[in-house]
Structure 1
Amino acid sequence: MNDEPEALPSAELVEDLFRREYAHLVSALVRVLGPSNVPLAEDVVHDALVSAMQAWRFGLPRDPKAWIIRAAHNRAIDIVRREQRHRSFLPELATTTALTDTIEAALAPEAEAAGQMAMMFAVCDPGLSRETHVTLVLRWLCGLSPKEIGQAFLVDTQTIDRRLHRGRGHLHALGRLPDVDDLPDLDVRRGSVLRSLYLLFNEGYHGSNPQDPVRPFLCDDALRLTELMLDARATAHPDVHALAALFCFGAARLPTRMDAQGVFVPLEDQDRRRWDRAGIERGLIHLGHAATGDRMSRWHLEAGIACEHAIAPSLQETDWDRIVGFYQLLAEQSPNPVVALNRALALAERDGVAEGRRELIALAHEPKLSRYPFYWAARADLERRGGRHERAREHYRHAISLARSTAERAAFERRIEGLKIS
């Protein structure tokens, strides 16, 4: 821990390092200290990170990750020795030698994946709500603070604290974190995990945080945790490959999601030359593996749609017939007003603006869409393309009134500015 420091790091680099190590260390320590000691594991990690901040004021050590792991190791041993008479620990920590060896093994790099998998499947218990699943994943597997999670989902910190409390209570009832291979309800839990990771990716791709609606690190975390499942035989399922493909195709477009002014860029205006071709290839590989199953899941259909967009040379050369077909199957399998909205936009590209406009008007009674800014922006786009500029202007203004962020608002305002005076 006395490594010679490197140059003073940027705050963003340190923040990213701390966030990732928080997620790794909490899951590792919960596995070794026992689920009833989640708060203790969090305290150990917090102390280690505070020590790092104090010691790194003038620069990073040569191996920051190893530094933090060693600090957490030493702090965990100290606290377990101090608390052994007052707390219930796993039998593996009964002797000094066992304590040192067990904590060392839990914090070793080769144990990181197993610890995070066990934690992820434990917190995504079907008995907990989907909102609680995502909250626990964001806190314990992505390292976000309760305040950051609340800001992301537009709820107060007290709501997040209550969800974390429920999660700790659920874990407390477990004797130890489960081995994923032995879970009797593995398929049900896998579904809960995939839904949580999907929401996590969406929050990174285009979330509800007013100041920071695009956060690529959340997309990276969602893909990382999804691909982690593919490294274990018990969870390497075609559905998981399909979701990983969807994430790859989406992440490949992140460089063009916003312009230099922080304004969202519509798909038709994005510079496809800047899309990450390696990411698209990675998605195609996952999609190929996803085809080995005998079931077409929601994730297969969404990945298929994303794939068509990713491989098309231009908006005009996109295979809209295939996309409409995927949306039709998706609407039958997972009826949802937003799916219907996107299907209507695909129909406008395939069958003409008038057809898409009719479909969108038919959705006007949907309560979920009435407060959704992109429904009104879609209505405005089709009115604009049909030459009805005053009607388009009205819809854009309505979208602006519902916008969740400056980036959304500015994008709609830019569309109004581009309209001809009619």
Structure 2
Amino acid sequence: MPAAVRFGVNYTPSEGWFHHWLDFDLDAVRADLDAIAALGLDHVRVFPLWPYFQPNRTLIRPRAVEDLVRLADAAAERGLDVGVDGLQGHLSSFDFLPAWTRTWHRRNLFTDPDVVEGQAGYLRTLAAALADRPNFLGMTLGNEVNQFAAGPHPDPDRITPEDAERWLTRLLAACAEGAPDRPHLHASYDAAWYQDDQPFTPGHSARLGALTAVHSWVFNGTAQRHGRTSVPTEHHAAYLVELSKAWAEEPHRPVWLQEVGAPAPLVPAEHAAAFTEATVRNVLDCPDLWGVTWWCSYDVSRALADFPELEYGLGLFTSDRRPKDVARALADAARAPHPPPATRTTALVVPADPARRSRCAPGGPVFDAFFRLVADGARPTTVLDTRADDKEHLTARGITEVVTPGQVLPTPPGGPRS
């Protein structure tokens, strides 16, 4: 367990969104970071756009790398650490893939040897450029890159789970070659935990890299099914943190809530602060939480076209740097004392077979049973069905009671059971 839970924000620039890399303005970045630091946050997660940094397989633009280092140094001046996502990849409904991987040059992002070595060189270069910066947290391979490997992506690069593991292992090694002493990780969107045919598996997330990253978005069916103030909606981030622990080999592997936000209209703007308070309060009750990184810093400007409507309002700040109620809610949480949570002693059994992971998704029996336990006042975690009788494993995690979804009865009318 870290000495203190980290609080940060995914840095979306106020001017130009991520296209700011094309016309990098350090003064604008400094003004953005000043406002972020004033909230009492301690880190930012930043996103180089891959085609802008590596427009050709053998060309990694030195000026772009220099701009990334200048951003990191500006963050350090304001007391902010910096985590860097390399392969962007996918952001806010747009794909950013270099031309040397698409159309006439179409090659599989995960299995083509030249593409993989190009990616490795790019990640190694970014990591090495930042390796001597004390505020560099490490690399994340990319933002939700698993979405390129299966449906519902309209043009996926199909791979097997074995292919995914080889790709992850190679690129994590490349990051370590560039910055050997930093924790590097990878990040998937929640299909890794919920989608039966997703080749990036829960085991990959929970066992490869220095930390487990989870991205919690309640527009995945949770808020649609249960409403914005429901137990499942307000505890969804905590659920993903605890779900991830079933697959971890280390009993106290740190988990980073790397993305979480208040998406309208499921969470209307006037209720975003309350959702933030509830989400953060509930996830802080999870042992081994490394940090909470909110999505995102600044609203997308209305001057930019074609974004999904929710993207224009997800920021802690408006695009002219005015703090919103959600910013104040996160700032209050960051400044409050957070005593370490007690061990979660009740574990809900989940299927180890990745082909059955949809049982953990919204509407599945594991999902529903977990939240019945929460509604009844329990503080559940999870354990794989293959480890449910492993006394050594249970003891290492502090688990004293194991229940199956079929044993968890619906909460009776009138409230929790006594």
Q: What is the TM-score when the length of structure 2 is the normalising length?
A: 0.27
Higher relative contact order (CA 8 A, sep 6+): 2
Q: What is the TM-score when the length of structure 1 is the normalising length?
A: 0.27
Whichever structure has more helix as a proportion of its residues is 1
**Which structure has the larger Rg over C-alpha atoms?**
1
Whichever structure has more strand as a proportion of its residues is 2
